[in-house]
Structure 1
Amino acid sequence: MTPPIRIVYADDDDDIRELLQLSLELAGGFEVSTVANGQAAVAAVAANRPDLVILDVMMPGLDGPATLAEIRRIEAAGQVPIVFFTAKLQRDEVDRLMSLGAAGVLGKPFDPITIADDIIAIWKAHDGG
């Protein structure tokens, strides 16, 4: 049996953070560590070396794109796939986020039943499967 995919997930909304964590752990078998902001995400990535990172785009302090830039400066993080999570799914915004090096962009609100499959598809497309 392969170990679960380890995820660090940063979002400043407590309810969304909890719902996504439960959805990914129960439906996908992922191991999810959650943090409430970009600074904590950078620290968690440096300490835990996750397999994948999910970042809310709009967070106070370091927003998602700035957090991605900081994570890319962590040598040990290598090219960990980063997925953005946003309510703004307009084509130009998705293109902008992908141009920053995101492995994928997922929308809010999300379906708790299918979100794990969405993450698995991104993981496999990147290099995890």
Structure 2
Amino acid sequence: MSSINRKLKTVLIVEDEEDIIEILRIAIEFNSDFSLHFAKTGPEGLQKAIILQPDLILLDVLMPGMNGLELIEELKIFPETEGIPVAFITSRVQKNEIQEYQKRGAIGVIEKPFAPLEITAKIHSLWEQTYQS
């Protein structure tokens, strides 16, 4: 399949805060045509990523147990997940932090707090940037 015409079909969001999950669920399901899945921990996110093989993964940076930076490294180990684009959704957006995310392979960052009505457009923008380069 030509990567330029690749359609975003499945997104996995790994986020431990229930209120953020609900905001994302409502905002995205209302404005999108892709399938949305959630995990609340790093290990659950890894397991779901291997099984679902989503088109895009969004990770929170700060989670108990396995954090987002550890999870992005784990995703690189498995053949089922090593090529999946990953972005962070976080309030940690200092220049040095963003550089660290990019160094680890992240395609971008969605800053918290985010405007719920803009989140779907931001996800699509990350997707398009990934497959236009």
Percent identity (aligned): 27
How many Å separate the matches in 2 of 1:111 and 1:117?
A: 10
Deviation beyond 6 Å, 4+ runs, structure 1:
none
Q: C-alpha distance in 2, partners of 1:60/1:30?
A: 28
Cα distance in 2 for residues equivalent to 1:128 and 1:31? 22
Whether contact under 8 Å (2:11, 2:55) holds in the other structure is yes
- What is the alpha-carbon distance in structure 1 between the residues aligned to residue 94 and residue 25 of structure 2? 25
TM-score (norm 2): 0.90
Gaps of 5+ in 2: 1-5
- 1:5-20 to structure 2, matched below 5 A, reads 5-20=9-24
2:122 to 97, 108, 118: 118
Q: Distance in 1 between matches of 2:73 and 2:25?
A: 24
Q: Report whether the alignment pairs 1:81 with 2:85.
A: yes
For the residues of structure 2 that align with 1:102 and 1:38, how far apart are their CA atoms? 16
TM-score of the superposed pair, with normalisation by structure 1: 0.92
The match for 2:27 is 23
Number of residues of Structure 1 aligned to a counterpart in Structure 2: 128
SS of corresponding position for 2:117: coil
- Secondary structure of the residue aligned to 1:77 is coil
Alignment check: 8 A CA contact 1:19 1:112 kept = yes
Q: CA deviation at 1:30?
A: 2.3
Q: Which residue of 2 aligns with 1:64?
A: 68
Q: 2:38 aligns with which of 27, 34, 37?
A: 34
CA contact (8 A) 1:98 1:105 kept: no
